[in-house]
Structure 1
Amino acid sequence: MNRILLLIFIFLGTSFYSVAQTAKRNENFQMLIKPSKGPLKMDGKLDEEAWMEASKVSDFMMCNPTDTICSNVRTDVRMTYDDKYLYISAECFLKDQSRYVVESLKRDFSFGINDNFLVFIDTFDDKTTGFSFGANAAGAQWDGQMSEGAKVNLNWDNKWESSTSYNKESWIWEAAIPFKSIRYKNNSTRWGINFSRLDLQAKEKSAWAPVPRQFPTASLAYSGVLLWETPPPAPKQNISVIPYVLSGVTSNYETKDPTNFRKQIGGDVKVALSSSLNMDLTINPDFSQVDVDRQQTNLDRFELFYPEKRQFFIENSDLFDGFGTETIRPFFSRRIGLALNARTGIYEQTPITYGARVSGKLTNDWRIGLLNVQSQRIDDKGVPTQNYSMVALQRKLFARSNVGVFMINKQSFIDTELQRQNGFAEYNRNIGVEYNLASANNFWTGKIFYYQSISPDAKANNFAHAASLAYKDNHWIFTWKHQWVGDNYNPEVGYVPRVNYTNINPEIGKIFYPKSKTSQLFYAQVRLNSLSFWNNSGGLTDNTTYIALEGKMKDQSSFSAFHGYDYVKLLYDFDPTRMGNIPEKKGSEHTWRSVGFGYISSPIKLFTYSITSRFGGYYGNGYRTGITSELGYRFQPHVGISMAVDYNNIGDVEVPVTQVDGTTRKIISASEFWIIRPKVDITFTNKLFFTTFFQLNQQTKNMNLNARLQWRYKPASDLFLVYTDNYLPENFHIRNRSIVLKLNYWLNL
């Protein structure tokens, strides 16, 4: 309790310091935007008179490898608007007429391995939320919704147009963003804005409004000012209807069920309730076209986390899944559409019948999120109809901080004995309050919260508390984190891998920048981190302590190395291979040391490679060798091929086994696990994509093939053809197979 009170005092002190720093950091970087003088065609050419008369800025500041000088490569940005569109163009000049570097023409590319230009728009000038648009040098589009001051959710997708052209001296990006596609305040004449440019050949990242090199250029705390000569058009009634039709065939060869012929219709509706508040509706949704998860070998005692990719849950998603930490998430939208059978411990897939979300700003300081989703019942598996609802309210405080409260309710409509036998509770609820700290200059960040779960059989200690406080400047990193979770905390719509613990996690780091201008090193940092867990009776159960060296070169290659120590006292029987072998016993103690290194090659080369490794001890005085490697080659910009391999070898693990006569002997077990992931990406144009992704996972005993063809025939409107196969790796027998053809269309009313 004393630690909590001390941390609250520090939070308040840091927040009051933030109040004194409320002035915009880059207030002097201002761009005046004027109405267009004529029509504009999105063809990647700046030959219209309207562009000649448009507002223009240049003189970008370098962000890395240093952040104190002007950029070596020139970037000219122009902006204008009419009654329907916000227009942006960027001419990105090349150094020594060099060729650009891109990954492919695929949307929402990886930032660090593509020459690109991005714009970050803070429409409410709150330095916290916004929108991002851009492209790589070959014309692949990038768009995302911004939250928490710098995060860009690239799963967000909306309707807009762009075109790119290339010559030996520069590449030009031209975009028209409908005012209907973004949210902003009526009669506002001031937005936050910044422009970012990454040039891999020139080995520099730059921005119009300068950003310290320890932060991403997406940091809205350092955005400049966009001043409107006349306010943008008043937001009008905005309704988007996105219907889909689907046809498909699914065959399950394991259960020998009859072939299922799918004919399905459904869709989404987006309604602008106000200039800053949006309602999303979905009926009979289908997510068959969503990218498959990259499989991982799980040698941990706890469940792995996979991010949400379904479009319905994306807009303003931070209002829902932004609560909590990496390991204490009171709301995890991927739980919706899954029903946990408590008797078997298996999650059953449950189709969603309908869903509704309201999210956005009530005022400049208040944000709200409302959600209601209902899933179907599955009679033969004893899964009841379930309803998921959430309400969240957030209030901005000080410069960039906020306080939020939420309530989550999961209701099960139980009406059969089989449903009761499967352990479905009538309801599960979770309530909480949270304070998020973000100083005006972004040096101080932190969080403190208290949550509580409620269910019919609720018992004491059904709470979760955590706090963190971090400081990061150009040279030092200091972090304190602690968590306290009761043994009966149970958020069924959340992601909480373990309960009944208290932990502390301090970290200190030092960042080094070379003084020599000729050095090829961008930066290096050394971090010392220690994470310790105690059960709520006060007994130490886990400790991981490591020292790590990390660095990045000016050509964007990076390296890492670590040395670590682990101690584990098992809370329950645990099979270290997770394959049904003899487990280590509850209460047994295990210690080991490990080392590892990693390297990622420069993306400038057409042939790229990476490797990460871990060598050292493991449970039962054994050892574990883990290696992950990926090789890739691109025929720029249309074809990319890669081969990724995860290899884990567990050997000499001593497992105690009690015999009938009471004696104990130890068995040595050994296991090898492979995940092999070849992938082919073909981007015929920036509107036509084909991806084939194969995954062999020895641990789950499954081979998966996923092939997807996507044609974006109009902005935000797509035709998908998706083929999926799952096989048994031992004999290549088919487990299940499906093919789906899906067409959707985005219609603005």
Structure 2
Amino acid sequence: PLYITPFVTAGASADNLLNANESAYVTDRSYTREIGLDLKQTLGSNLTLDLTFNTDFAQVEADDQQVNLTRFSLFFPEKRQFFQERAGIFDFSTGRTDRLFHSRTIGLSEFGPVPILGGGRVVGRIGKWDVGLIEMQTARASFDDDGSTEVIPTENFGVLRLRRRVFNDYSSAGGIVTSRVDENGAYNVAVGLDGTFRLFGDDYLTLQFAQTFDDQVDFDFDDAALTRLWWERRTQAGLSYRGGMTYSGAAYDPGVGFSTRNDYWSPRLGVGYGWFPGENSSLRRVSVGTLGRSYNRRTDNSLESAFWRSDLSLEFKAGHNVSLVAQYQLDDLTEEASFPEDSSVPAGRYEFLVGEVSLRMPPGSTIRGQGEASYGSFYDGTRAQISISPSFTPSSHLELETTYEFNHVDFSSRDQSFNVHVARLRAQLGFNTKVSLNGFVQVNSAANLVSTNARFRYNFREGNDLWIVYNDGLNLDRERERPFLPVTSGRTLLLKYTYTFIR
């Protein structure tokens, strides 16, 4: 069948911006009146086409607030359903968060959302091939950035992913191509090949190669490449191991992906052992392991950073899980590193030890969640960290999810210290099968901000919805800057109505 979903959005926003001479904040009011169209067509038993025009993601939940206590960019997961559906087909992960394709590069920027004029995606299977295709066009957008105007040109994004099983049911190989071209002719193209092969038993070999091309960089094959080799034994019982090598050139830059660092070579090695104690034990599984990794500068082979961690994990039959971790870390700073509240760490080589304990409760209980605490050295100081994430289901109509994260960092030798608090509360209230209200309130002490995201939904029938979305940013410690900050950084109220026809 063909699903045709026209929609209309209307709303108003008020953003408080610094004026041209930076003497006061002024309110910039804007109004939204848009229409758009989404189409979904089933092309076969396992292939789907999605088309979108004047795309709108008003009903998507706000991002989780994070505080960066590292030298690298923060990773934010994708929350937009258009990109989430069967996203695994596009997966080309090259590390913990690094990936050749990250859909958040489309329609989102460091300054805010970028309008999407339209596009399409095809996902599914054709014969023996997993197929993923994305083509999107964004509009030109301008943003106020502390009194100056940042203009983002209109861009075209393309992704093609192919993968199929080879040799046996547990092995696959494929490739990916991504492209990003703007109206001025600037471009970034990435090409990747990958394969995961079950060699014997539980042993798997993963091979990856990626190459990027950018108009701003003179092409050099080695300098713009990433190569990754990974061998692991996947088992919960007995001996497991994993190890490999990653190489990244200085000019490697996936423009439609996410990469925390480049210009390095990195070996990694880990071993573990797990066992099941048996019927008479309260423990379901016990595992111990150790893992080490180093990052070495490609230019002179000097050590940039390294870590080595050992852990003990106890999984109980009741569903609880307790983990103990000890970690050694080395970081060689070539320049000063900045942290909240004007704290900083001078360039130099630092070694630190950290101990961590974590607890995860059974997922099916009325009260569930997880928590962790850690303490140890942090560059030339110390860091204490606590995180708890309890969830409650008081009734069939209400679900509450809470998170509280606390970090205390102390650089006593330089008379510097700071505390960081991040709190989140999600409330999902279902009045009945048609009416629901989702609230998401966050407090971030590093940003001195309380953000609110509320989403009301009335479902007339399947595919026919009314959304009312409210966003607000409340400034804390308004007198920390001159001129004084306004009460709110901005407010937005949006209404979205969708109606689906089936042909």
Larger Rg computed on CA atoms: 1
Residue 748 of structure 1 aligns with an amino acid whose one-letter code is: I
State yes or no: 1:362 paired with 2:109: no
Alignment partner, residue 167 of structure 2: 398
Alignment partner, residue 650 of structure 1: 409
Residue 616 of structure 1: how far off its partner (Å)? 0.3
Alignment partner, residue 498 of structure 1: 261
Aligned in 2, Cα 1:257/1:384: closer, same or farther, shift over 3 Å?
farther
Q: Deviations over 1:683-725 (max 9, x none)?
A: 2335432222211111223210111222333234432221111
Farther-moved stretch of structure 1 (532-541 vs 603-612): 603-612
> Are the aligned partners of 1:282 and 1:312 in contact in 2 as well (CA < 8 Å)?
no
Alignment partner, residue 635 of structure 1: 394
Aligned in 2, Cα 1:328/1:644: closer, same or farther, shift over 3 Å?
closer
Residue 630 of structure 1: how far off its partner (Å)? 3.0
> Are the aligned partners of 1:323 and 1:434 in contact in 2 as well (CA < 8 Å)?
no
- Specify every segment of 5 or more residues in structure 2 that has no aligned partner in the other structure, as ranges: 19-25, 143-148, 479-485
Alignment partner, residue 453 of structure 2: 706
Aligned in 2, Cα 1:242/1:301: closer, same or farther, shift over 3 Å?
same
Alignment partner, residue 527 of structure 1: 289
Residue 541 of structure 1: how far off its partner (Å)? 1.4
Alignment partner, residue 377 of structure 2: 617
Q: Deviations over 1:581-615 (max 9, x none)?
A: 34422xx1000111010112345553445320110
Residue 136 of structure 2 aligns with an amino acid whose one-letter code is: V
Alignment partner, residue 76 of structure 1: none
Alignment partner, residue 737 of structure 1: 491
Residue 431 of structure 2 aligns with an amino acid whose one-letter code is: F
Instruction: Note the 1:361-510 alignment, pairs <5 A.
Output: 361-363=125-127, 365-378=128-141, 381-400=150-169, 401-414=171-184, 426-438=186-198, 443-456=202-215, 457-460=217-220, 461-473=223-235, 474-510=237-273
327, 351, 357: which is aligned to 1:597? 357
TM-score, scaled relative to structure 2 = 0.89
Residue 437 of structure 1: how far off its partner (Å)? 2.5
Counterpart of 1:328 in 2: which secondary structure? coil
The structure where strand makes up a greater share of residues is 2
Farther-moved stretch of structure 1 (518-527 vs 545-554): 518-527
Residue 446 of structure 1: how far off its partner (Å)? 4.0
Instruction: Note the 1:41-190 alignment, pairs <5 A.
Output: none
The structure where helix makes up a greater share of residues is 1
Q: Deviations over 1:428-467 (max 9, x none)?
A: 11112111235797x3444211111111223431111112
Q: Deviations over 1:480-534 (max 9, x none)?
A: 132110111111111001001111221111112122x243222121111111111
State yes or no: 1:287 paired with 2:46: no
Ranked by relative contact order (alpha carbons within 8 Å, sequence separation 6 or more), the top structure is: 2
Alignment partner, residue 259 of structure 1: 29
Following TM superposition, the consecutive aligned residue runs of length 4 or more in structure 1 with deviations greater than 4 angstroms are 438-441
TM-score, scaled relative to structure 1 = 0.61
> Are the aligned partners of 2:132 and 2:160 in contact in 1 as well (CA < 8 Å)?
yes
- Specify every segment of 5 or more residues in structure 1 that has no aligned partner in the other structure, as ranges: 1-237, 340-345, 415-424, 655-666
Residue 72 of structure 2 aligns with an amino acid whose one-letter code is: F
> Are the aligned partners of 1:691 and 1:709 in contact in 2 as well (CA < 8 Å)?
yes
Residue 617 of structure 1 aligns with an amino acid whose one-letter code is: S
539, 542, 553: which is aligned to 2:302? 539
Q: Deviations over 1:142-185 (max 9, x none)?
A: xxxxxxxxxxxxxxxxxxxxxxxxxxxxxxxxxxxxxxxxxxxx
Q: How far apart in 1 are the matches of 2:131 and 2:346?
A: 47
Alignment partner, residue 275 of structure 1: 45
Alignment partner, residue 353 of structure 1: 117
Q: How far apart in 2 are the matches of 1:433 and 1:584?
A: 40
Aligned in 2, Cα 1:579/1:334: closer, same or farther, shift over 3 Å?
farther
Farther-moved stretch of structure 1 (443-452 vs 489-498): 443-452
Aligned length: 477
Instruction: Note the 1:688-727 alignment, pairs <5 A.
Output: 688-727=435-474
Counterpart of 2:33 in 1: which secondary structure? strand
Aligned in 2, Cα 1:241/1:440: closer, same or farther, shift over 3 Å?
farther
For the aligned residue pairs, the C-alpha RMSD in angstroms reads 2.3
Residue 411 of structure 2 aligns with an amino acid whose one-letter code is: D
Identity of aligned residues (%): 24
Q: Deviations over 1:630-684 (max 9, x none)?
A: 3444313222334421000000254xxxxxxxxxxxx321011001223322223
Q: How far apart in 1 are the matches of 2:434 and 2:92?
A: 32
> Are the aligned partners of 1:555 and 1:604 in contact in 2 as well (CA < 8 Å)?
no
Counterpart of 2:425 in 1: which secondary structure? strand
Aligned in 2, Cα 1:638/1:569: closer, same or farther, shift over 3 Å?
same
> Are the aligned partners of 2:115 and 2:141 in contact in 1 as well (CA < 8 Å)?
no
Residue 280 of structure 1: how far off its partner (Å)? 1.3
346, 361, 365: which is aligned to 1:584? 346
> Are the aligned partners of 2:181 and 2:188 in contact in 1 as well (CA < 8 Å)?
yes
Counterpart of 1:338 in 2: which secondary structure? coil
